[in-house]
């Protein structure tokens, strides 16, 4: 295709068709869009005169996809109450620690088991430890679970996961790329990231009166320009402090969640969230080369099985410790099981550091399988709960109490 606008338009038309098919089948659109991206990406084969490979427009589509992550996380931040999150602070630290430690330790064991070098093992452990904020956000919105009891803990674990990612990337960048190699420099970088996140929690608690006055704008046109401009600026600025830009958008959403304008902002964000969010998953599929997947299929399948088990166990422990019922606890592990953009970032760091080339197809296959299974497991969580309940004989606390009183 010679015309860039026509190429982007065709790509978006395919996204629309895939979304319609997914809707007809009542299935999450995420796996449909990822597979579609693989089928028409720059690595897909050319079939005679039929060439649907989106090569020239890939960078533009990737940028539109990045906007999708920002809108998804910004909306998720608006949906939650900062005061409730702070009240759940202990549960977040406990749940996040359990989740990251269990996945990271099992990742280390897996890396050594498949005879990877020390640095490759550390990269694999990092990849297995970070869930996909974008997919988790999409699943929560699609399944209308933003008001569920376990959702605040899920959000907390995502935030905790990002702090871990900041620490991990800082240390591994120093080791692999020869950047910040001093312990003091790494600690300072991590403290700045944590302090930046805490700043938004303070703004959310103390800042609503000021924010309400600043956002008291009658014109919808000016209102949306001000809010979206601030979101993009804060997301970009966050990246300079080694905080993921998507988490920057999430924190900005959290800061605005307590203002009297939050519902007005949500109403304006939803169309952008849905459109650009779909483009993100399509653009992720474009980046995958299907021909390289066979080189790492067994390695990826082993990691997928390990991740499924560790996520269910970590979710159950974190949820039960937070006082949630078995069903809600199971939902935690199933919802944060998906892997995506952060796993790819960790893998790319390993490749930039000259580690084994198999990390690329491994990361692509690992992310693709869990991007399909994660939303599917979350959607069928009720069915999985009934199945597991027959094995483990979980008893609802209310019913248990009634039995005691009989």
C-beta separation of 187 from 369 below 8 A:
no
Q: Quick one: pLDDT at residue 178?
A: 57
Over the stretch 374-395, which tens digit does the pLDDT of each residue have? 888 888 888 888 888 888 877 6
Distance, CA of 51 to CA of 54 (rounded, Å): 9
Provide mean pLDDT across the span 147-151: 83
Domain chopping of the chain, boundaries: 71-277+293-399
Q: Quick one: pLDDT at residue 312?
A: 93
Q: In this predicted model, which residue has the larger pLDDT, 174 or 204?
A: 204
Query: Helical H runs in 207-340?
Result: 208-214, 220-240, 245-256, 262-286, 297-321, 326-335
Q: Quick one: pLDDT at residue 395?
A: 66
Q: In this predicted model, which residue has the larger pLDDT, 11 or 81?
A: 11
Over the stretch 220-236, which tens digit does the pLDDT of each residue have? 899 999 999 999 999 88
C-beta separation of 309 from 388 below 8 A:
no
Task: Give strand pairing partners of 47.
Answer: 50
Structure tokens at 101: 């430690």
Distance, CA of 208 to CA of 223 (rounded, Å): 16
Phi then psi for residue 207, to 5 deg, are: -90, -15
Distance, CA of 296 to CA of 368 (rounded, Å): 13
For residue 172, pLDDT beyond 80: no
The residues, any chain, with a CB within 8 Å of residue 298's CB and separated by 6 or more, are none
Lowest mean pLDDT among 83-87, 275-279, 303-307, 366-370: 83-87
For residue 91, pLDDT beyond 60: yes
Lowest mean pLDDT among 56-60, 200-204, 260-264: 56-60
Q: What is the value of pTM for the model shown?
A: 0.74
Q: Quick one: pLDDT at residue 166?
A: 67
- Which of 104-108, 193-197, 279-283: highest mean pLDDT? 104-108
Q: Quick one: pLDDT at residue 200?
A: 85
Residue (of 69, 71, 60, 61) closest to 228 by Cα position:
71
Q: How many CB atoms lie under 10 A from the CB of residue 169? A: 19
CATH, domain 71-277+293-399, list 2.30.30.90, 1.20.58.220, 1.20.1530.20, 3.40.50.2000 = 1.20.1530.20
Q: Quick one: pLDDT at residue 406?
A: 47
Over the stretch 3-47, which tens digit does the pLDDT of each residue have? 788 888 888 999 999 889 888 876 767 778 888 888 888 777 776
For residue 256, pLDDT beyond 70: yes
> Could you give the percent of the chain with pLDDT greater than 70?
87
Over the stretch 288-312, which tens digit does the pLDDT of each residue have? 778 878 888 999 999 999 999 999 9
Give the rounded distance of the alpha carbon of 127 from its chain centre.
12
For residue 80, pLDDT beyond 50: yes
Provide mean pLDDT across the span 349-364: 84
Q: How confident is the model at residue 2 (pLDDT cuts 50, 70, 90)?
A: low
Range 110-113, long-range pairs (CB < 8 A, 24+ positions): 110/302, 110/303, 110/306
Over the stretch 327-343, which tens digit does the pLDDT of each residue have? 888 999 999 898 877 78
Residue (of 74, 38, 64) closest to 371 by Cα position:
38
> Could you give the percent of the chain with pLDDT greater than 90?
22
Q: Quick one: pLDDT at residue 48?
A: 67
Q: How confident is the model at residue 405 (pLDDT cuts 50, 70, 90)?
A: low
For residue 78, pLDDT beyond 90: no
Residue (of 287, 309, 268) closest to 361 by Cα position:
287
Provide mean pLDDT across the span 213-225: 91
Distance, CA of 138 to CA of 352 (rounded, Å): 30
Which single residue is written with the structure tokens 């999450």?
A: 28
Query: Helical H runs in 178-261?
Result: 183-206, 208-214, 220-240, 245-256
Q: How confident is the model at residue 254 (pLDDT cuts 50, 70, 90)?
A: confident
Provide mean pLDDT across the span 342-362: 83
Provide mean pLDDT across the span 358-370: 87
Question: How much is the mean pLDDT over the chain?
Answer: 83
Q: Quick one: pLDDT at residue 397?
A: 52
């Amino acid at each position: 295709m010679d015309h860039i606008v026509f190429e982007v338009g065709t790509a978006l038309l395919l996204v629309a068709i895939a979304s319609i098919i997914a809707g007809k089948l009542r299935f999450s659109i995420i796996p449909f869009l990822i597979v579609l991206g693989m089928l028409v990406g720059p690595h897909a084969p050319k079939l005679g005169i039929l060439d649907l490979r989106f090569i020239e427009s890939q960078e533009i589509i990737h940028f539109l996809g990045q906007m999708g992550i920002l809108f998804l996380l910004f909306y998720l931040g608006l949906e939650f109450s900062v005061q409730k999150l702070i009240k759940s602070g202990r549960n977040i630290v406990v749940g996040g620690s359990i989740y990251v430690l269990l996945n990271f330790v099992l990742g280390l064991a897996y890396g050594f088991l498949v005879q990877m070098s020390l640095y490759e093992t550390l990269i694999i452990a990092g990849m297995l430890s970070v869930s996909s904020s974008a997919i988790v956000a999409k699943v929560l919105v699609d399944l209308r679970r933003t008001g569920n009891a376990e959702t605040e803990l899920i959000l907390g674990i995502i935030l905790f996961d990002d702090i871990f990612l900041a620490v991990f990337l800082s240390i591994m960048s120093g080791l692999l790329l020869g950047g910040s190699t001093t312990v003091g420099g790494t600690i300072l970088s991590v403290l700045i990231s944590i302090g930046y996140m805490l700043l938004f929690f303070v703004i959310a608690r103390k800042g609503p009166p000021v924010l309400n006055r600043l956002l008291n704008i009658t014109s919808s046109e000016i209102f949306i320009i001000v809010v979206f401009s601030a979101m993009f600026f804060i997301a970009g600025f966050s990246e300079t402090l080694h905080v993921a830009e998507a988490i920057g958008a999430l924190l900005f959403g959290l800061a605005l969640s307590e203002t009297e304008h939050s519902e007005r902002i949500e109403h304006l964000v939803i169309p952008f969230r849905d459109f650009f969010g779909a483009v993100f998953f399509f653009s992720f599929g474009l980046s995958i080369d299907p021909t390289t997947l066979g080189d790492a299929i067994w390695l990826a399948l082993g990691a997928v099985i390990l991740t499924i088990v560790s996520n269910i166990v970590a979710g159950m422990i974190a949820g039960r410790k937070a006082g949630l019922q078995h069903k809600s606890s199971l939902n935690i592990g199933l919802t944060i099981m998906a892997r995506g953009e952060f796993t790819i970032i960790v893998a790319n760091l390993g490749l930039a550091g000259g580690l084994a080339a198999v990390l690329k197809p491994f990361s692509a296959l690992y992310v693709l399988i869990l991007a399909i299974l994660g939303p599917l497991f979350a959607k069928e969580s009720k069915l999985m709960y009934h199945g597991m309940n027959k094995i483990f004989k979980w008893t609802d606390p209310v019913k248990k109490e009634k039995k005691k009183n009989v």
